[in-house]
Structure 1
Amino acid sequence: MTQQLSKHRHISFTAHYTGYIWYQMGISHPALATAKGKTLAALVHPIESWAEKYVGGSMRTTLKQRHTMLDHDLQELIQQYPDIQVLEIACGLSPRGWWFRQHYPNITYRELDLPDMAATKQAALQQIEGEVDDVLSVDLFTETFASAFEVFDPKRPLVIISEGLINYFEKPLLQQLIKSIVTYGQDFKELHYLTDLYPEPTQNKLATIIWNSSRLLKWMSRSAFSFHFKTPAEVESFFYEAGFKQVVIQQPKQFFEQQILENNQQHLGDLVWTIKASNNK
């Protein structure tokens, strides 16, 4: 039977680039670093260096920020719920599943991606982990996404995690994805969703350049990459509308520099934010 695929499946080269950057940072395994990723990293290195000097951040600096923040949030959930289950969607060549399975062998951690990337990831993991569960292979925008939830125990908490995903879809499609997570996860003891997003760079003096770069990324990845939100309040409302009951937005200046806000509705100028959304029974 041919697997059902939606028209929204093209993310293309970005998984190879991010996979190699994680390897360069020393947090990944050589098996998860591809030749294609190495070529892409070398190609954009001058642009990234320029952005870090004049924009105050680049794709690779936001990769480090979001990865660190998401790992921290996941570790907190594991400490709070030792029996938690994890599903990383659009896992690409991320080292997260491998790292967490090594450091927390008692948790259930499964990964999911589109067929081609799932096969690539599976082959890499078999080199470094040996006995490892199959990388699930479904399209997030078809009904087959529901089957991914069926491999987990609803009597235990479940956390869905994604990184570098949600800016690639138009807003209605993003709402569909988050509603699907809420719907398919509604019977679990607890449901959590950890993700990142790139807000509109309204507080950056080079916002126009960043916007133009995003249009190039949109074209290269054959996606609908866009900035959907200007304030944390807009993000919160969007996730509440999708069905989550608790939503927390974290900005790097809060996380790394411990900046304390009177309220969490101000855009601090960071290029990436993370989100913790939850539904507790």
Structure 2
Amino acid sequence: MTQQLSKHRHISFTAHYTGYIWYQMGISHPALATAKGKTLAALVHPIESWAEKYVGGSMRTTLKQRHSMLDTHLKALIDQHPHLQVLEIACGLSPRGWWFRQHYPDITYRELDLPDMAATKQAALQQIEENVDEVLSVDLFTDAFASAFEAFDSKRPLVIISEGLINYFDKPLLQQLIQSIATYGHNFKVLHYLTDIYPEPTQNKLATIIWNSSRLLKWMSRSAFSFHFKTPAEVEQFFHEAGFKQVQVLQPKQFFEQVKLENNDQHLGDLVWMIQASNT
């Protein structure tokens, strides 16, 4: 049977780049670092170094921030629910599933991506894990996405997690994705969605350069990559409208530097934020 695919499946080469950066950071396995990723990392290294010096951050620094925040929150949820179920969508070459299965053997951790990447990830995991579950192969924008939720026990809490994903879609499509997660996870005892998001860089003096860089990424990835939100309050409202009851937006300055927000409309200038949404 032919896998159902939507027209929105062209996310990009970025999975190879991020996979290699995670390996460079020392948090991944060589099996998850590809030659393509190594080439891309070397190619953009001068640009990344320039951005870190003059913009105050780069793709690789935001990778580290978002990965750390997401992992910390996932660990906290496992502390609350030792037999937690996790589905990482658009998993790419992320080491998260491998790492968490090694360190938390009582949880159920499944991964999902489009057919080609799912096959690549499966082959890599089989080199480093015994009895690893099949990487699910589903397009998030087709009805087949619902079947991924059937792989889990609705009587146990479920966490959906994504990283480096949701800015690649226009706003209507993003709302469709979040609504799908809320709808398909409606019958679970507890449902959480953890994700990162890149806000509009309104507080950065080089915002125009960042915007232009995003247009280049949009073209290269054949996607609708864009910034959709200027404040945490806008993000929270959007997720509420998509079906989540509780929504928290965390900015790196809050997480790493303990900066306090004066109000929910305050953008602290970070290039990436983290979102934790739940159905309770």
TM category, shorter: over 0.9
Instruction: Kindly report which structure 2 residues correspond to 1:82-101, keeping only aligned pairs within 5 A, or say none.
Output: 82-101=82-101
CA-based RMSD of the aligned residues comes to: 0.5
SS in structure 1 at match of 2:7: coil
Q: Where does residue 118 of structure 1 map in the other structure? A: 118
Quote how far apart the aligned CAs of 1:248 are: 0.2
CA distance in 2, matches of 1:77, 1:213: 35
**TM superposition score normalised by structure 2:** 0.99
Distance 2:220 2:136 in 1: 26
Contact 2:218 2:225 in 1 (8 A): yes
Aligned to 2:246: 246
8 Å contact kept, 1:249–1:264: no
Deviation at 1:83, TM superposition (A): 1.7
Match of 1:72 in 2: 72
Match of 1:192 in 2: 192
1:149 aligns to 2:156 (yes or no): no
SS in 2 for 1:248: strand
Matches within 5 A, 1:168-187: 168-187=168-187
Q: Distance between the aligned counterparts of 2:263 and 2:73, measured in 1? A: 20
Contact 2:21–2:41 under 8 Å retained in 1: yes
1:21 equivalenced with 2:34 (yes/no): no
Counterpart in the other structure of 1:128: 128
User: Offset at 1:18?
Assistant: 0.2
Listed as ranges, the matches of 1:198-209 within 5 Å are: 198-209=198-209
Equivalent residue, structure 1, for 2:38: 38
SS at match of 2:279: strand
**Separation in structure 1 between the aligned mates of residue 129 and residue 209 of structure 2, nearest angstrom:** 42
Q: Please give the alpha-carbon distance, in whole angstroms, between the structure 1 residues aligned to 2:15 and 2:120.
A: 11
Aligned to 2:49: 49
Which residue of structure 2 lines up, in the alignment, with residue 63 of structure 1? 63
Measured after TM superposition, the shift of residue 262 of structure 1 is 2.9
**Cα offset, 1:261, TM superposition:** 1.8
The runs of 5 or more residues in structure 2 that have no matched partner are none
What secondary structure sits across from 1:177 in the alignment? Answer: helix
SS at match of 2:125: helix
Q: Determine if the alignment matches structure 1 residue 227 to structure 2 residue 227.
A: yes
Aligned length in residues:
280
Give the 3-state SS of the residue equivalent to 1:87 in structure 2: strand
CA–CA distance in 2 between the matches of 1:275 and 1:134? 27
